[in-house]
Structure 1
Amino acid sequence: MGFSYDKLWKKLIDEKMNKLDLQNAIHTTPHTIAKMGRDENVSMEILGRICKYFKCDISEVLEYKVEEDNE
């Protein structure tokens, strides 16, 4: 499956923020937020800004989900 930003979206809810608030807080574009919404890759720089903003470890906003082999 790959990377999932579900933890980030839960953190936004806990912080009473929306995606636009996050976009403004980390100074990024709507395109980057949309990519995360589709669980696509974004740069480590963006992930670093998120961690710096929330003062957290990357594991609190991102996780890797292994796709099971159906063979």
Structure 2
Amino acid sequence: MAVSYKKLFKILIDRDMKKKEFRDFVGISYSTMSKLEKGENTTVEVLEKICLKLGCGIEDIMEILPDTTISKGAE
């Protein structure tokens, strides 16, 4: 499964918030921001911090994308 944070970055665009402003506002590191940009996994604590600061739910900032390839016998 893959994770997408496109919804989060859409919120930042809508709020006219630069990534550095967002990092400072939420209190996350550059490396955590980089993980979000790359669609990598991050901790639930980080996601919770983001949601509380932005006043939204987790479904508003991320989505889980199913694998596009299913190996045989894994049904």
Structure 2 length as normaliser, TM-score? 0.87
- Structure 2 match to 1:36: 36
1:51 and 2:56 aligned? no
Aligned length: 71
Q: Alignment identity in percent?
A: 31
Paired residue type of 2:19 = K
Instruction: Report the Cα distance in structure 2 between the residues aligned to 1:8 and 1:25, rounded to whole angstroms.
Output: 14
**How far apart, in 1, do the equivalents of 2:27 and 2:70 lie?**
41
- The equivalent of 2:14 in structure 1 is 14
Q: Distance in 2 between matches of 1:26 and 1:16?
A: 15
Q: Which residue of 2 aligns with 1:23?
A: 23
SS at match of 1:40: coil
Identify unmatched segments of 5+ residues in structure 1. none
Tell me the TM-score normalised to structure 1 length.
Answer: 0.92
After superposition, the CA RMSD in angstroms is 1.3
SS state of the match for residue 17, structure 2? coil
